[in-house]
Amino acid sequence: MTTGALIFAHNNASIDYVKLAIFAATRVSAYLGIPVSLVTDNIKWVTDTYPDHGFDQIIEIPLEPSTPRCFHDGTLSSKKMEWKNATRSNVYNITPYDTTLVLDSDYILNSDVLKNAFDIDTDLQIYHKSLDLASHRDTDCFTRINQQSIPFYWATVFVFRKSQIAEAFFDLVTYVKQNWSYFKILYSIDSGNFRNDFAFSIAIHIMNGKTNGEFVAELPGTMTYCLDTDILISIDNDIVKVLVEKENTLGEYLAVKTKGIDVHVMNKASLGRFIDGGYGV
């Protein structure tokens, strides 16, 4: 039985997701000691640009249609760019591992807490509970997909094992994606863009028989995150320093430090600057 991690990385005009994925992979290797494979749309570009990438495998898949999205770099800077997020539902068929950890390229490990997931006897583990590094923000949008609807689950990081049940789940996620215009109306989703978080949440709801069932298990630890309106300053071993936006004060921040906690850093621009050796601001 094999265990490994997959990171999806599809670059757009401004964000080098492959660079972020290489950095995230070094953290997985250091803290979990498992191989990491990359899923991307251009193997040649990756190997030409990063010949010492260190991935176990690079898996090339065709891009699916992208959508425009506004990406922030702190509270005062934003830019509309392509969002290429529609390939994740294919993960069951492309993973080379029996048990797979899937994580975003901006999910930074600073602990070995996810090691515990590999010993849990279940088909799918995913985060529902989460913690915002800025304590003043309304987090309802990460609790339910809307106030009157179903629980929200994070497709940012999850663990699954090969089984008929897991295969049925990912087939269902694909079905939801292919019929997004219908499911968006059915579940009263205001967002115009397809989101994996929403598709996973809907598929989990259906797999639970549209009740509060026990189809999925909560991943060990907590989904801790900072938004793209926050700014990453540094990552030093297991210490992460972030400037989080002040409440009701545009362009001003508070410094926050975490230690030994995995963090979803949504400001990809500031993460890229740190990786390049620049300052986070």
pLDDT per residue as tens digits for the range 34-76: 999 999 999 999 999 999 999 999 999 998 888 888 999 999 9
Q: Which of 235, 243, 237, 231 is nearest to 269 (CA)?
A: 231
Amino acid at 139: T
| Higher per-residue confidence, 82 vs 257 | 257
**Pair of tokens at residue 150:** 């179903």
DSSP 22: H
Instruction: Kindly report the number of other CB atoms within 10 A of residue 271's CB atom.
Output: 24
**Pair of tokens at residue 241:** 């320093």
The predicted structure's pLDDT at residue 213: 86
The predicted structure's pLDDT at residue 67: 86
Residue 113: pLDDT band (50, 70, 90) is: very high
**Pair of tokens at residue 148:** 């009157």
* Mean pLDDT of the 140-161 span: 93
List, for residues 27-41, the tens digit of each pLDDT value. Answer: 999 999 999 999 999
Whole-prediction pTM? 0.95
| Dist. CA 122–CA 217, nearest whole Å | 7
pLDDT at 111 over 60: yes
Let me know: does 166 contact 93? Beta carbons within 8 Å: no
Residue 280: pLDDT band (50, 70, 90) is: low
| Dist. CA 151–CA 129, nearest whole Å | 10
Question: For residue 157, what are the β-bridge partners?
Answer: 103
Let me know: does 41 contact 10? Beta carbons within 8 Å: yes
Which residues have CB under 8 Å from 71's CB, separation 6+? 14, 15, 78, 79, 80, 81, 228, 268, 269
DSSP 152: P
The predicted structure's pLDDT at residue 199: 97
Phi then psi dihedrals of residue 171, to 5 deg:
-60, -40
Q: Which of 240, 241, 266, 264 is nearest to 253 (CA)?
A: 241
